[in-house]
């Protein structure tokens, strides 16, 4: 099966500019996650979707970050305006997310964002 697809792989922007990342999860996976991974740290959850509804966005800086998952499939994460501290790798992951069994998350290759 095809894995989680993310684009772009790399992005360099100036502070105060806007940027958007795209994610296509594994087909049939109901749950989609966006994680922020700052260099040298573990991934931190930004937002979690179950189908097209938000399950957890408690750590999403809502004054500048937004995310949507239209039709419960693809998702976009936007930052506007970007700050220097937003420089990180943005990882998208998906999991089956339904039923009593809890399965692992499958990750994309991430987008490395550099804000200068």
Residue number with CB closer to other proteins (25 or 110): 110
Binding test (CB under 8 A) with other proteins, winner from 67, 77, 93, 115: 93
Kindly tell me which residue out of 44, 62, 80, 116 binds other proteins, with binding defined by CB under 8 A. 44
Which residue of 23, 110, 113, 115 would you call a contact of other proteins, by CB under 8 A? 110
Given a contact cutoff of 8 angstroms between Cβ atoms, the answer to whether 33 and 80 are in contact is no
- We find the least distance from the C-beta atom of residue 112 to other proteins, in angstroms, to be 7
Q: Which of 11, 42, 36 is nearest to 92 (CA)?
A: 36
Q: How far is the CB of 86 from other proteins (least distance, A)?
A: 17
Residues at the interface with other proteins (CB under 8 A): 31, 33, 35, 40-45, 48, 50, 55-56, 89, 91, 93, 95, 97, 102, 104-110, 112
């Amino acid at each position: 099966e095809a894995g989680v697809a993310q684009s772009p792989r790399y992005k360099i922007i100036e502070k105060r500019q806007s940027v958007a990342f795209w994610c296509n999860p594994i087909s049939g996976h109901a749950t989609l996650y966006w994680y922020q991974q700052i260099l040298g740290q573990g991934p931190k959850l930004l937002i979690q979707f179950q189908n097209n509804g938000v399950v957890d966005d408690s750590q999403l800086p809502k004054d500048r970050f937004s995310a949507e998952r239209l039709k419960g499939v693809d998702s976009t994460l936007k930052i506007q305006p970007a700050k220097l501290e937003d420089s990180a790798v943005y990882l998208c992951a998906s999991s089956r997310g339904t039923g009593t069994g809890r399965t692992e998350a499958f990750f994309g290759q991430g987008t490395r964002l550099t804000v200068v």
